[in-house]
Amino acid sequence: MIREYDKLFKYFGIKPFKDVLPELRKVAEPHHLMRRGIIFGHRDFEKVIDALKTGKKFAILTGLMPSGRMHFGHKMVIDQVIYYQGLGAEIFIAIADIEAYAVRKISREDVINYAVNEYVANYLALGLKRERLHIYFQSNYAKEYYRLLQMFSRKVTMAELRDIYGEDVGPGKIMSVLTQMADILHPQLKHFGGFDVVLVPVGPDQDPHLRLSRDVADRYASELGLKRPASTYHRFMTGLLGGKMSSSKPESYIALTDDPDVAVAKLMKALTGGRPTAAEQRRLGGEPEKCPVYEMLSYHLITDDRELEKVYTRCRSGEMLCGQCKREAAERLRKFLEEHQRRLERARNIVDKVVDIPDF
Ligand code: TRP
Ligand code: SF4
C-alpha cells in the first residue's frame, strides 16, 4: 500500500502534505488527519493557505458515491469538509448518482436511498452545518452546471480518456467523467459564487479525475477563466480482517449505522498487530503500524495526540496486550456510535431541507 502511494509522488507530481504543515500552522490548527500523516499528499494546497492568510473566500468540493452503506472508511472525507467549513469555506458536495447508476449499475431507488439515508443523514449527524452548504445530486442541479459539462465534451479526446480510464470507456463512463469535471470546476463559475480557490479532498483513487480536471481547466482558461483546482489525498483504511475495506464485505467495515453491539463484535474479531503468543508480545511489543484496531483509534476514535501516543507506547513496549487494547477501543467505539446515532435521528428529519431529492 505504502509503495502504491509513493508512485503518486514519483510519477504524478503529488507533494507530501507534511511539507505544508508548518505554513498551515501559522493560520490554523491542522486536523488530526493532517497531523498524523493520514492526509499524506496534496496538489497546490498553498492556494488554500494563501486564502486563509489573506481572508480570500475559498470553496471545498468533494463527491460521494451512493453505492452502499456509509462506513468509517467514508468518514475521513466528511471530517475534512467539516473542518474546512469551520474555517469559513463554502462547501459543495456532489452526490455521484449518475456515476452510481451508469457505471456501478445500481438502481435509481437504491442510489437515492443510500444518498439520503446513509450519506447525507450521517454527514449532518457528524456535524456538517447547513450554512454555506450546497449538496446536490448530479442528475438534479443547475443549468449552468450542465452547460459546463456539455461544453467540456469539445476539448476532451477519446484517446486521452482511454489512456486514463482504460480501453473500455463507453458512454456511461464518458458521461460520468464529464460530469465529475463539472463537479470539480463549477464552483469557479460566477453563478455559483466565482470561487478562484477550490480544494478537492479525496482518496488517491480519484487522482486520475483531478489530473484531467487540471488539464480541462487549462483548456478553458481563456474562454471561461477556469483555474486548476487544489487537492488533498488521504490514506484508505485497512479492512478489519486485513485487505481492503469494502462495502460488499460487511465484516471488513463498521457502518455508522451499525448497532453498537454488532460494531463492537466486529472490532473484537479484527486482525491486530499483535504477536502469536502473549509471552512474545510482552517481549517484543505489538506493531501498531500494522494494526486495524490502531487505525480505528488514530483515524477516528482518539483525536487527542497525547492519548494516542499513550496507546502507541503501551502497545510498542508490550505493556498492553491486544485483548485489553480492543476492550478499550470497543468502549470508545460504543460511546461514539451511541452519541452519533442519537444525532442521526434528528438529522434524518431535516435531510430533505438540505438536498433536493430527484423524483426518479
Ligand atoms: N468518482 C467519485 C467516487 O467514485 C465520486 C465523485 C463524483 C467525486 N464527483 C466527484 C469525488 C467530485 C470528488 C470530486 O467516489
Ligand atoms: Fe493493535 Fe492494540 Fe494489539 Fe497494539 S495492542 S497490536 S494497537 S490491538
My answer on whether 21 and 126 are in the same domain is: yes
> Which of ligand 2's atoms lies nearest the C-alpha of 270?
8
Q: Do 68 and 152 share a structural domain? A: yes
C-alpha dihedral sign at 1, 203, 78, 43: positive
The pairing of strands 198-202 and 133-137 is unpaired
What does the pLDDT look like over 245-264, one tens digit per residue?
A: 999 999 999 999 999 999 99
**What is the model's pLDDT at position 132?**
98
Nearest to 227 by CA among 213, 208, 211: 213
| Ligand 2 close to Cβ of residue 41 (< 6 A) | no
Number of folded domains in the chain?
A: 2
Is the domain of 146 the same as that of 216? yes
332 CA distance to ligand 2 middle (Å): 15
Residues 58, 136 within the same domain: yes
Do 151 and 51 have their domain in common? yes
- Do residues 231 and 297 both lie within one domain? no
Q: Categorize the per-residue pLDDT at 2 as very low, low, confident or very high, splitting at 50, 70 and 90.
A: low
Instruction: Kindly state whether residues 56 and 154 are assigned to the same domain.
Output: yes
Tell me whether residue 360 is in a domain. Answer: no
Is the CB–ligand 2 distance for residue 267 below 6 Å? no
Ligand 2 site-directed mutation target among 294, 300, 307, most atoms within 8 Å of CB? 294
Rounded distance, CA 150 to CA 152, Å? 5
User: What are 287-301's pLDDT values in tens digits?
Assistant: 999 999 999 999 999
Give the position, in ligand 2's atom list, of the atom nearest the Cα of 273. 6
Query: Do 261 and 232 reside in the same domain of the chain?
Result: no
136, 15: one domain: yes
CATH of the domain at 288: 1.10.240.10
Distance CA 231, CA 342 (A): 33
Kindly report the number of other CB atoms within 10 A of residue 119's CB atom.
23
Q: What is the pLDDT of residues 159-182, one digit of tens each?
A: 999 999 999 999 999 999 999 999
- Collect all residues with Cβ–Cβ distance below 8 Å to 82 and sequence separation of at least 6: 126, 127, 128, 129
Q: How confident is the model at residue 286 (pLDDT cuts 50, 70, 90)?
A: very high
Tell me if 293 CB under 6 Å of ligand 2: yes
Cα dist. 224→102, 189, 216 in Å? Answer: 28, 8, 11
Residue 294 CA to ligand 2 center (angstroms) comes to 6
Looking at the structure, tell me whether residues 331 and 229 fall in a common domain.
no
Residue at 34: amino acid letter: M
User: Which pTM value belongs to this model?
Assistant: 0.97
Identify whether residues 168 and 23 lie together within a single domain. Answer: yes
Domain holding 42: CATH number?
3.40.50.620
Structural domain containing residue 131 = 3-236
Is residue 297 within 6 Å of ligand 2 at its C-beta? no
Q: Which ligand is nearest to the CA of 294?
A: 2
Mean pLDDT of the chain: 97
pLDDT band at 20 (very low <50, low <70, confident <90, very high): very high
Q: Confirm whether 14 is domain-assigned.
A: yes
With residue 231 as reference, give the H or E element that holds it: strand 230-234
Mean pLDDT of 79-96: 98
The Å distance, Cα 91 to ligand 1 centre, comes to 15
d(CA 2, CA 282): 28
pLDDT band (50, 70, 90) for residue 209? very high
Tell me 226's DSSP state.
-
CA-to-CA dists, residue 319 to 135, 159, 273, 283, 286, angstroms: 47, 58, 14, 9, 9
Does residue 119 lie within any of the structural domains?
yes
169 and 289: one domain?
no
Q: What's the rounded Cα separation, in Å, for the pair 323 and 274? A: 10
Residues 6+ apart with CB under 8 A from 55: none
- pLDDT tens digit sequence for 120-147: 999 999 999 999 999 999 999 999 999 9
Which residue shows C-alpha cell 452519533? 340
